[in-house]
Structure 1
Amino acid sequence: MRWRIEMRSVSATTGRQFGLDWLRIGAFGLLIVYHIGMFFVPWGWHVEASNTIDWVQWPMMAVNPWRLSLLFLISGIVSRSLMAKLASSRHFATSRSTRLLVPLLAGMVIFVVPQPWFELRDRGAYTEGFYYFWGHDYFEFGASRGTPLPTWNHLWFVAYLWAYSMLLALIVALPTSVRASLQKCFNRLFSGWRLFLLPISWLVFARTMLFPAFGETHALVDDPYSHAVYGFSFFFGVAAARAATAWDAINSNWRLSLASAALACSLMFYIQASGAQSDVAVFAKAIARSVLAWSAILGLLGFAQTHLHHDGPVRRYLTDAIFPYYIAHQTIIIAVGFHLKQLGAGAAVEFIGILIATLVGCAVTYETARRINWLRPILGLKRLKDTSTIAASPAVLAN
């Protein structure tokens, strides 16, 4: 495969990257829809519909390999921009801890608590009311009922992002010459065809060697597969943010990347539909999944940079709102799904009800949080010094 290298209007991520903002918004939006889909597929989620729908698995399989890696990669790019703005590694670590640890801890203590309660109720493993559960059983620091408590559930993404940010702060503290050498090594290593093939090779290794041995736990300390995938994505984004040659290649070849993703997805679907379980089939599926993941990421990055590099009030609003949406969405999905399941509503009613309730609930959460200054950090928003501007200003930097 020969990759064309040509200059485009955006050669590296300097300045505000509106295309990446749009891509981040879209990736978080897709994550919310994906979690709604988890209610309907037979994959073992917190609360599932009484009658799962098999066909829903297919579109979810198409986005599963790349959706979170894309978010971590964009987070790495954003972190590189923050590094340039802040004076030292200590300031970077403090800033990231404030913006990530506060909503993570608040989420575990407040926002996530209803999720295991509904899960245990749905399994028939708990009969007490919610407030009793919150006050007496949630903080057991164990798994006596089969569910680890307390938990961060979907907020594991925030925990991992904080951990990677702290590691990045240590790298920022290295001498300038060392960091420059690291950047030069990245530029040489991920150029031309290697930008495409080396990450795919790494993902194949992770999928065939680490995943069978360790699985994917989202527990931070015993999750080598996830770190191999998401940690790689984050630090790739950090280095790629200042790699002009890599961005030239990405922007020039995004159509080819998306075509490769489509072909790989078709192969993955074919193997899945065939039911083949041989070692060859498993290995071929791992390759197809890895090609799909990395090709989709490169293709979406290039498309965003070349076609979505524009600003507007919608972008400014959603850039600010999407992280509070992320924090709130899964609790709403599980709560509404549980109650609709109890009512015996059909799949169509359940989907429409969950979707509308999630959008409305997330919007109410954000609109409330952004108007109350002390509440803003709890939902991942930056405190405003001039509280008179809270209601009037729809957006501050949410990355």
Structure 2
Amino acid sequence: MERHYGMDWLRIGAFGLLIFYHVGMVFVTWGFHVKTADPAEWVAVPMLLTNAWRLTLLFVVSGFASRALFAKSTGIRGFLGNRNARLLLPLAFGVVAIVPPQSWVELVTQHGYAHSFPWFLAHDYFRFGTLDGVILPTWNHLWFVAYLWVYTLALAPLLAPRLPGVQAMFDRLFGGPGVLWIPLAWLLLIRMALFPNVDETHDLVTDGVAHLQYFLALLFGFGLAGSRPARAALARFWVPAAVLAVASYAIVASVAIAYPGFAIPTRAIARTFHVAREVQCWASIAALIGIAERFWNRDHAWRPMLTEAVFPFYIIHQTVIVVVEYWLKPLDIGPVAEFAILVPATVAGCWAFYLIGRRIGWLRPLIGLRRKAAAKREAVAAAPQAA
């Protein structure tokens, strides 16, 4: 497979938006591990710009990347071995060493927990139960990594010699207008018929609504990576998809503005909101992939480092956000000043985590990076193509 630089840029952008989204969670009225003193209802309006599609897009681009990795692997066993090392090690490290401050801050600021962080880590975090309703230990934002690993295991049996035939079927289904309406129909079926008014749990076991959406998104990304017809169709339809995305977001935002706190008075308005949200989800993803295919499929000197930095950024970013806001909150400087400090502090913390971690050989696999020897071999192999 040729490297698709456009999807690299889309992956970088998607994870970058995720960081800003989680910063926003501090200031919106929705539940989060730490909150500013006076969360505001209006913050939901800009948050809803990406809320509908950000996670589904991450699974699509992860499926695309999985196909590229499979193409370079020595069969299914090599593919699974790579995924196990690149996902399970960071997940375990994250649960043990990265996530605990989030749970401690949540207990201190929202449940009156009186013990220090060292005490919490030694006595309470590994209780394998709940404390004031907070599950301990936990994976918090790293649920995405756990789901991605499980979906990889589920994907493996499909990677049989039948793959060319399956790929041809994918090309026929999604090589035209079906690339817009088939995924949209599936999302509406899940959210409006099979699981109406059911929220995701991110606990893996009781999360059927998420699995039907995200596993299929990963499969779509996997198929898309091998489908020139589908990518060409998305490039061809990106303008109407973008128009549809903007129009549906306008409906979603209008409902959020008219009914703060989503206190929607009638079932008809609620149904309109949910339908618009699903339309926004797939229309946004289709438009972004079409733009990546048409305009972003070119390399840049910054791309290799940014592509490598994405996973470490993801691992550490939410802990940085939660801890920095915990320090800021007692200062009573107001949400504007908090936001102005929180964003650059989070970016700086993520860069420090990545730049320091990449230099420490034993730490690299724990933060989602290849071991130095493997990274060097890949850089040498990619050099002629990048040139």
Q: How would you bin the TM-score normalised by the shorter chain?
A: over 0.9
1:107 aligns to what?
94
2:180 aligns to what?
196
Give the distance between the partners of 2:15 and 2:181, measured in 1 at CA: 27
Give 1:32 shift.
Answer: 0.2
Residues 257 and 296 in structure 1, CA contact (< 8 A), matched pair in contact too: yes
Give 1:194 shift.
Answer: 2.0
3-state SS of paired residue (1:148): strand
- Residues 75-121 of structure 1: CA distance to partner in whole angstroms, max 9, x if unpaired? 10111111111121111111001000000000000001100000000
2:350 aligns to what?
362
Give the distance between the partners of 2:170 and 2:6, measured in 1 at CA: 23
Residues 72 and 233 in structure 1, CA contact (< 8 A), matched pair in contact too: yes
Which of 223, 246, 249 pairs up with 1:262?
A: 246
1:235 aligns to what?
219
Which of 313, 321, 324 pairs up with 1:336?
A: 324
> Is 2:140 aligned against 1:153?
yes
Residues 50 and 341 in structure 1, CA contact (< 8 A), matched pair in contact too: yes
User: Alpha carbons of 1:320 and 1:277: their partners in 2 closer, same or farther (altered >3 Å)?
Assistant: same
> Is 2:294 aligned against 1:306?
yes
Residues 65 and 293 in structure 1, CA contact (< 8 A), matched pair in contact too: yes
Give 1:74 shift.
Answer: 0.6
Q: How does 1:318-329 map to 2 (within 5 A)?
A: 318-329=306-317
3-state SS of paired residue (2:134): coil
Q: Structure 2 unaligned segments of length 5 or more: list them.
A: none
> Is 2:172 aligned against 1:185?
no
2:56 aligns to what?
69
Which of 276, 279, 282 pairs up with 1:294?
A: 282
* Root-mean-square deviation over aligned CA pairs: 2.0
Q: How does 1:1-399 map to 2 (within 5 A)?
A: 14-172=1-159, 174=160, 176=161, 178-212=162-196, 214-275=198-259, 276-385=264-373
3-state SS of paired residue (1:143): strand
Residues 72 and 234 in structure 1, CA contact (< 8 A), matched pair in contact too: yes
Give the distance between the partners of 1:50 and 1:213, measured in 2 at CA: 30
Give the distance between the partners of 2:346 and 2:277, measured in 1 at CA: 30
Give 1:209 shift.
Answer: 3.6
Residues 91 and 145 in structure 2, CA contact (< 8 A), matched pair in contact too: yes
User: Alpha carbons of 1:261 and 1:189: their partners in 2 closer, same or farther (altered >3 Å)?
Assistant: same
**Which contiguous aligned blocks of 4+ residues in structure 1 show a shift greater than 4 angstroms?**
none
- Residues 205-244 of structure 1: CA distance to partner in whole angstroms, max 9, x if unpaired? 2222454464210111110111111111111111111122
Give the distance between the partners of 2:109 and 2:296, measured in 1 at CA: 43
Give 1:279 shift.
Answer: 2.5
TM-score (norm 1): 0.90
Give the distance between the partners of 1:303 and 1:87, measured in 2 at CA: 32
3-state SS of paired residue (2:29): coil
3-state SS of paired residue (1:201): helix
TM-score (norm 2): 0.93
User: Alpha carbons of 1:57 and 1:29: their partners in 2 closer, same or farther (altered >3 Å)?
Assistant: same
Residues 105 and 326 in structure 2, CA contact (< 8 A), matched pair in contact too: yes
3-state SS of paired residue (2:152): helix
Residues 214 and 223 in structure 1, CA contact (< 8 A), matched pair in contact too: no
Give the distance between the partners of 1:255 and 1:322, measured in 2 at CA: 28
Give the distance between the partners of 2:166 and 2:344, measured in 1 at CA: 47
1:6 aligns to what?
none
Write 1 or 2 for the structure with the bigger share of helix.
2
Q: Which amino acid aligns with 1:97?
A: N
Residues 214 and 224 in structure 1, CA contact (< 8 A), matched pair in contact too: no
Give the distance between the partners of 1:264 and 1:237, measured in 2 at CA: 23
- Residues 321-380 of structure 1: CA distance to partner in whole angstroms, max 9, x if unpaired? 111111111001001111211221211211112112111111111111100111000100
Residues 210 and 224 in structure 1, CA contact (< 8 A), matched pair in contact too: no
Residues 18 and 309 in structure 1, CA contact (< 8 A), matched pair in contact too: yes
Give the distance between the partners of 1:334 and 1:269, measured in 2 at CA: 27
Give the distance between the partners of 1:386 and 1:154, measured in 2 at CA: 28
Structure 1 residues 323-332 or 163-172, which shifts more? 163-172
3-state SS of paired residue (2:158): helix
1:4 aligns to what?
none
Q: Which amino acid aligns with 2:25?
A: M
Q: Which amino acid aligns with 1:107?
A: G
Give the distance between the partners of 1:195 and 1:343, measured in 2 at CA: 50
State the aligned residue count: 377
Give 1:301 shift.
Answer: 0.7
Structure 1 residues 367-376 or 275-284, which shifts more? 275-284
Q: Structure 1 unaligned segments of length 5 or more: list them.
A: 1-13
Structure 1 residues 227-236 or 373-382, which shifts more? 227-236
**Identity rate of aligned residues, in percent?**
42
User: Alpha carbons of 1:191 and 1:311: their partners in 2 closer, same or farther (altered >3 Å)?
Assistant: closer
Give the distance between the partners of 2:54 and 2:197, measured in 1 at CA: 23
